[in-house]
């Protein structure tokens, strides 16, 4: 059986390849996925279908080359912390963005049961402004 650290590492590896099925492979059917207030996909989404529709589809349609670059993973047992940087170019404004980010993952029974994102939403919003 995979460790919690390996499950999250595999999610990030699939994300780097834009493999949505790989990203969702070990996500629990009732996962609670929280994107920070002020972020374009803000809210708590329940289940893989809501996460795909309200997070990954939105980011893919609104941002060119949206990426999370993983810098380090911290193994806290049932909690795994991912630290890195978001980057991309907003399609409407044409502006580039880079913002530091931390992800907190909670796992149980070899499944991702919760996710919470913390990032500098001001940098993201500034890149979205067309003025």
pLDDT of residue 131: 76
pLDDT in tens, 12-66: 999 999 999 999 999 999 999 999 999 989 999 999 999 999 999 999 999 999 9
Give the mean model confidence (pLDDT) for residues 107-129.
96
Q: How many domains does the chain have?
A: 1
Residue 55 to residues 14, 30, 52, Cα–Cα distance (Å): 16, 16, 6
Q: Residue 69 belongs to a domain with what CATH number?
A: 3.10.450.50
DSSP character at residue 17: T
Q: What percent of the chain has pLDDT over 90?
A: 97
Q: CB count, 10 Å around CB of 5?
A: 16
Burial environment of residue 50 by CB neighbours within 10 A (0 to 12, 13 to 18, 19 or more): middle
pLDDT of residue 1: 86
Give the mean model confidence (pLDDT) for residues 109-122.
97
Give the mean model confidence (pLDDT) for residues 57-85.
96
pLDDT over 90 (residue 79): yes
3-state secondary structure at position 27: strand
Banded pLDDT at 128 (limits 50, 70, 90):
very high
Alpha carbon of residue 3 to chain centroid: 20
What sign has the CA pseudo-torsion 17, 102, 1, 20? negative
pLDDT of residue 24: 97
Per DSSP bridges, beta strands 79-90 and 27-35 are unpaired
DSSP string, 35-79: EPTTSTT-EEEESHHHHIIIIIHHHHHHEEEEEEEEEEEEEETTE
pLDDT of residue 100: 97
Rounded to the nearest integer, the mean pLDDT of the chain is 96
Single pTM value for the model: 0.94
Q: Which residues pair with 107 in a beta bridge?
A: 112
What is the span of the domain harbouring residue 118? Answer: 4-128
């Amino acid at each position: 059986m995979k460790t919690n650290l390996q499950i999250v590492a595999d999610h990030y590896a699939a994300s780097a390849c834009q493999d949505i099925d790989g990203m969702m492979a070990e996500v629990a059917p009732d996962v609670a996925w929280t994107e920070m207030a002020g972020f374009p996909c803000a809210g708590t989404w329940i289940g893989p279908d809501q996460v795909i529709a309200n997070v990954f589809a939105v980011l893919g349609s609104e941002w060119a080359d949206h990426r999370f670059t993983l810098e380090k993973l911290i193994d806290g047992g049932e909690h795994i912390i991912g630290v890195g940087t978001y980057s991309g170019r907003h399609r409407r404004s044409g502006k580039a963005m880079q913002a530091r980010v931390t992800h907190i993952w909670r796992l149980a029974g070899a499944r991702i049961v919760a996710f919470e994102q913390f990032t500098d939403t001001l940098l993201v919003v500034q890149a979205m402004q067309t003025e």
